[in-house]
Structure 1
Amino acid sequence: MIETIKQSLWNQLGASIDMLEDSILLCPNDEWDTDRKLWYQAFHVLFFTDYYLSLAPKTFTPPAPFTESEFEDRMPERTYTKTELIKYLSHCRAKAKTLIENLTEQTIEARWVNSSGSMDYAIHEILIYNIRHIQHHVAQLNLHLRQSINDAPEWVFRAEN
């Protein structure tokens, strides 16, 4: 049963990450840093994707050049490029795949608890929560793309691999 659950979790979390990547790549350069701050929306969802994939959330630190600005409820000090965010997305995809592949019947039930204790989930539930968070922001990005260029990426049914 655990293998079926792991495969389903990867199929859907991976698909959500793929959809985020498609939205970032489709965003025209002249729309990247407008008042809509599409770059920031992409960064925000990647930051929290990475965070929710951390088995030790209390000690989470994003990879360079990213900062913990999201925990401080402030904008980063500079605009991140598409290239930087696609690299961060690749980091998150690999982290998600490794985490899910290594789940066992015991670890899937382990607790994921943030520093304040306000979020306390089993690992399988934080993965589902992560999918919901990614899709929420993909929908926002795709709405902006529809409004600005009358285009948006296709739905991804399952992760490619």
Structure 2
Amino acid sequence: MTIINNEMLWRQFGAAIDMLDDAIKDCPKELWETQLWDDQPDQWVAKGFSKFWYLCYHTLFWLDLYLTGAEEGFSPPAPFDLVEMEPNETLPRTYSREELLGYVVTCRQNCQAVISAMSQEQANRLCQFSWGEVPFAELQLYNLRHVMEHGAQLRMFLGQQANKSATWVSEVR
């Protein structure tokens, strides 16, 4: 029995991507390199992970990677760096708003294509990561939650620091 079809999943996934896109567009220049929270002594990611621009990149990077279903063989498009794969990494150079907005477009197109074409067989394909093994369809729900989590953090930060409220996106634009 199918509970959610591909179109439903895309409409909600696309809405989450649209809200991330809005956050990137709404960030004032003076907050672009501001950290949303302090680094932790035991964090597994690079120092400065919570800088606004990097949290946007982190979200897009993993969105793109999870759409492939595997870390092996994944490489983000130029000019972006492969990140968060090794201990003691440092942040890449600061990516511009325009670069990240371009990556949003790429990820949105990839996401729509992957979700629209997902067959039952592909949905059930097991995907292995260091944190566990999940069917591809469940990985996409995880992926959606990840985009929504960081999009919400970014929006809350913009509300607190720049008095910029979010516009709710009920389904993909």
Please give the TM-score of this superposition, normalised by the length of structure 1. Answer: 0.90
1:42 equivalent among 17, 34, 56: 56
Give 5+ residue unaligned stretches, structure 2.
Answer: 37-50
1:123 equivalent among 131, 136, 144: 136
Matched with 1:92 is: 107
Take 2:92 and 2:121, find their aligned partners in 1: how far apart are those partners? 41
Query: Is residue 49–residue 92 contact of structure 1 (8 Å, CA) maintained in 2?
Result: yes
Shift, 1:23, TM fit: 0.5
Matched with 2:7 is: 7
Shift, 1:119, TM fit: 2.5
Matched with 2:96 is: 81
Measured against aligned partners, the alpha-carbon deviations of 1:99-156 in whole angstroms (never above 9, x if no partner) come to 0111112111112223x4x331111101100111011101110111011111122111
Letter matched to residue 85 of structure 2:
F
RMSD between superposed Cα atoms in Å: 1.8
Matched with 1:57 is: 71
Give 5+ residue unaligned stretches, structure 1.
Answer: none
2:152 equivalent among 139, 142, 158: 139
Displaced runs of 4 or more, over 6 A? none
Query: Is residue 50–residue 92 contact of structure 1 (8 Å, CA) maintained in 2?
Result: yes
Take 2:83 and 2:119, find their aligned partners in 1: how far apart are those partners? 33
Paired residues in the alignment total 158
Query: Is residue 107–residue 123 contact of structure 1 (8 Å, CA) maintained in 2?
Result: yes
Tell me: higher relative CO, structure 1 or 2? Use CA pairs within 8 A at least 6 residues apart.
1
Greater Cα offset, 54-63 or 40-49: 54-63
Of all paired residues, the percent bearing the same amino acid is 37
Shift, 1:4, TM fit: 5.4
